[in-house]
Chains A and B, each alone.
Chain A
Amino acid sequence: NAGVTQTPKFRILKIGQSMTLQCTQDMNHNYMYWYRQDPGMGLKLIYYSVGAGITDKGEVPNGYNVSRSTTEDFPLRLELAAPSQTSVYFCASSEREGTYEQYFGPGTRLTVT
């Protein structure tokens, strides 16, 4: 049982480049989330999904896109990378909302220069 896996672990992008952060979970969870973690700022929700084919914006969606074609996968796409997108990105999943815990992946550290 791998839980939530993310690739890559580290990436350096040049301004204007694009990339996709991969996220996969093997717990058959309907809910999946993308967060970014900036120093001293806690976690900010970028996008979330309540099931295959259904996604919605979180608190900081600008500059990102997502898709959810399967229950397992929830990739995050960065178009035209900017230095402000330098951060650590975490994918998470949960069985349901409310009292249910979220399971986090190990994170992707992205630097845009």
Chain B
Amino acid sequence: GNSVTQMEGPVTLSEEAFLTINCTYTATGYPSLFWYVQYPGEGLQLLLKATKADDKGSNKGFEATYRKETTSFHLEKGSVQVSDSAVYFCALNPGGYQKVTFGTGTKLQVIP
């Protein structure tokens, strides 16, 4: 079946540090890949997505590249802010009648 594996958290960084959150997936075919962010006390919201190999999704300074050869979709940001503190979920949608599979989430804490 389909699966998404994310790095364990929590990740604690100082403000302006570089961020990488690893995500790898298992799926047949060519799934769409997503990063969702969940701020404290809120629901998930889409951060970025990529729908085919080598696509780069980007939003709010975050980027992730769809790497089919390594089945990865790592999230990066060059300089994190305190306001980026949240839980980040990697997800895939295989398409067709299959449903979205979410990773377990990675909590990011950015300290001033």
Contacts and interface: CB of A to CB of B under 8 A. Distances in A.
A103 B95 CA distance: 17
Chain B's interface size range is 20 to 34
B43 A41 contact: no
Specify the main secondary structure of chain A where it touches its partner: loop
Interface in A51-72: 58-59
Nearest to B103: A42
Contact of A97 (B36, B46, B49, B93): B93
A99 B32 contact: yes
A90 B32 contact: no
Given A42-B104, A42-B105, A97-B93, A104 B45 contact: yes
Interface in A2-39: 4, 33
Nearest to B105: A42
B20 interface: no
Given A40-B104, A101-B49, A90 B99 contact: no
B73 interface: no
Contact of B51 (A43, A99, A103, A106): A99
22 contacts: A40-B105, A43-B44, A43-B89, A43-B102, A45-B100, A90-B43, A97-B95, A98-B32, A98-B95, A99-B32, A99-B49, A99-B51, A99-B93, A99-B95, A101-B46, A101-B49, A102-B46, A103-B45, A104-B44, A104-B45, A105-B43, A106-B43
The 7 residue pairs across chains A and B that have the minimum distance between CB atoms? A104-B43, A101-B46, A42-B104, A43-B102, A42-B102, A104-B44, A99-B32
